[in-house]
Structure 1
Amino acid sequence: MKKLLSFTALAAAAAAPAHAQSADPAGSSPLIAALNWVQGTLLGNLATTAAVIAIAVIGYLMLTGRFDWRRGIVVLVGIFIIFGAVTIVGGIRGLAQGL
């Protein structure tokens, strides 16, 4: 009977809703700093300038027939995903919280 009671208590504890931590876990500060650096590098002024130049060059090559349209659209969609990643993740998180 004692085993059944302890199993029931364990099952009830496992079924309890999980609570998210309000603060960052211990030791995550260097990881967060590194991820912020990567995000700043990918979305910074240099990356924005390179993306604008890439779009202009690919657009010109597509118009003159020197670049395949399918490959050009893939490049444009890739640039859209990189620069829209923050908004895309925010939308997914909002949908997940609504469930």
Structure 2
Amino acid sequence: MRRLLPLALLAAPQAALAQAVAANPQGSGPIVAALAWLQGTLMGNVATAVAVMAVAAVGFMMLTGRLNWRMGATVIIGCFVLFGASAIVSGIQQAAAIQ
């Protein structure tokens, strides 16, 4: 029994002692600002208008039989992914976080 104790201790799970990293590394201010601008542009009024026109055009083409349903569904799912990207990434980060 005493011989199995060291093996049991080696097999027991242990917490990883990883280094905590700051949210934004030093010197990344301009990069973070540029990415925030890009996100605002992609998620703003222009992107919403383009997505509405794309869904309307795809819907009209599907209605008239010029586009198959699989391609139309691909465009619509792409819009969902584009506008839900921040929620998707937040969900992945929360799922990966060590509690």
Please indicate the TM-score interval, normalised by the length of the shorter structure: 0.7 to 0.9
Following superposition, the deviation at residue 98 of structure 1 comes to: 4.9
Aligned to 1:17: 17
Higher relative contact order (CA 8 A, sep 6+): 1
Letter in 2 for 1:72: G
Aligned to 2:27: 27
**Residues 23 and 58 from structure 1, CA distance in 2 versus in 1: closer, same or farther, beyond 3 angstroms?**
closer
Following superposition, the deviation at residue 92 of structure 1 comes to: 0.8
Aligned to 1:81: 81
Letter in 1 for 2:72: G
Residue aligned with 1:81, SS? helix
Distance 2:90 2:21 in 1: 19
Give the structure-1-normalised TM-score. 0.76
Following superposition, the deviation at residue 21 of structure 1 comes to: 2.8
Distance 2:21 2:31 in 1: 17
Structure 1: unaligned runs, 5 residues or longer? 1-15
Aligned to 2:55: 55
Identity of aligned residues (%): 52
